Amino acid sequence: MGSFVVEGGHRLEGRIRPAGNKNAALPCLAATMLAAEPVTLQNIPRIRDVETFLEILVSLGAEVTWGGPHEVTVDAREVRRASIDEGLARQIRASVLLAGPLLARFGQVKLPPPGGDVIGRRRMDTHFLAFERLGAKVSLDSGFTIEAAELRGCDVFLDEPSVTGTENAIMAAVRAKGLTKLRNAAAEPHVQDLCHLLNAMGANISGIGTHVLEIEGVQELGGATYRVGADHIETGSFIGLAAVTKSDLTIEGAPVEHLDSTLLGFSRLGIECEIRGDDLFVHGAAEHHVRQDAFGQVPKVDDGPWPAFPADLTSIALVAATQCHGTVLIHEKMFESRMYFTDKLVAMGATIVLCDPHRAVVVGPVALQGGVVESPDIRAGMALLIAALGAEGTSRIHNIRQIERGYEAIDARLTSLGARIRRDERTDW
């Protein structure tokens, strides 16, 4: 799988632009299965998860054409099957996003269990609840089969605001007969991107950006050209990078309209950012002091459903906290295995008490030391890369495939800022 060899302790400088939103690109690619004409998506990141998802679409019979570095056109008119290859499905969690559009198109779909990061239990029950409310029957075996003679609009209250559950429900409902009211829906920027794309294709979705969506079903969806928004998670990762490496950085074309909770969370660590038009300037070189709560209470950075602080940034915030003066509680409420990577940071010198699978107390600042670590998932992998860049000495990060599933050409992009990263393709370490 190769590794990154990182020489830490060097300040960075310059400008970096976040790639297109990975978590928007994947559901938007799934939505192309609903179109009776080609769909062109712009600002699509060239990452492993996108390439794997496109392999799945091709295996179903779709024609995929890259029209530029970040523009892809999908023509799904020749798709004739609604069964996903098990090997491909297990490589990526997002394979589950094909359940909704294939069910709406063919009246049935068969999927093996999806793969993805091992960050804790990731329920499928919300997906099944929505499909059943729309009139489908779900059968569970080694994977799952969903069938519906006709999808019918109805009132659906999701048992949790699951992002992928919401997206699957939306893609099924746009072809259901009548009106669907989807309550307790996820409202993340990537869910909004999916809705805007579907409307461009001819769907009728209102309430976008809220937790209540109304979807009037249509008989057919056509082609469209749509630009996916910038990745707010990658933007947050670069904020953490600036703080840990004590670097002033400009993030170009940042999705500032989606950064309220992210900026608030990092400000609790004393990391300040300045919005300059469409750019975000991170005052990373300054001293960062954790802001205590009223009466001297230990503050916390905790995640939650949008618009709360994103769960995908808790790993980044935790690493950033190791370089801030003070004590802070990082509370990851959603996934019980995401914080297990903290033992690798402790081995690098961090002062962290892992209270339980969801909570860690971080005391900083500390001088991190380079080490040999392995990336367990996309976000923890990026967090470890950031830690290595801020550490004294040399680090080696194994299993970089995980990082590259979510961050496009990250070694080259960070090297352009002055980072010292060398890729080692040998696998015999």
pLDDT tens by residue, 48-91? 999 999 999 999 999 999 998 999 999 999 998 878 888 888 77
Question: Strand (E) positions, 135-255?
Answer: 137-140, 144-147, 155-157, 179-183, 204-206, 212-216, 224-227, 248-251
d(CA 192, CA 176): 20
Query: Which pLDDT tens digit goes with each residue over 112-152?
Result: 876 544 433 456 889 989 999 999 999 887 778 899 999 99
Residue numbers in the chain where pLDDT is lower than 70? 1, 114-123, 427-429
Asked about 141 being catalytic, the answer comes back as no
Residue 429's pLDDT is 45
Nearest-5° Cα angle at 157, 153 to 163? 95
Kindly report the number of other CB atoms within 10 A of residue 140's CB atom. 10
List Cβ neighbours of 196 (8 Å cut-off, separation of 6 or more): 208, 226
Residue 198's pLDDT is 98
Question: What single-letter DSSP state applies at residue 296?
Answer: G
Domain 22-227 has CATH 3.40.50.300: no
Identify the active-site residue in 117, 231, 303, 312: 117
d(CA 394, CA 391): 8
d(CA 78, CA 136): 25
Based on its alpha-carbon atoms, the radius of gyration of the chain, rounded to whole angstroms, reads 22
Contact 20, 229 (CB under 8 A): yes
SS3 (DSSP) at 100: helix
Q: Domain 3-19+230-424, what fold?
A: UDP-n-acetylglucosamine1-carboxyvinyl-transferase; Chain (3.65.10)
User: Percent helix, strand and coil across the chain, each rounded to 5?
Assistant: 35, 25, 40
* Average per-residue pLDDT for the chain: 93
Q: What is the pTM of this model?
A: 0.93
Contact 255, 263 (CB under 8 A): no
Instruction: List the chain domain ranges.
Output: 3-19+230-424, 22-227
Contact 225, 55 (CB under 8 A): no
d(CA 262, CA 236): 7
CA distances from 287 to 160, 166, 272, 290, 419 (A): 39, 41, 10, 10, 21
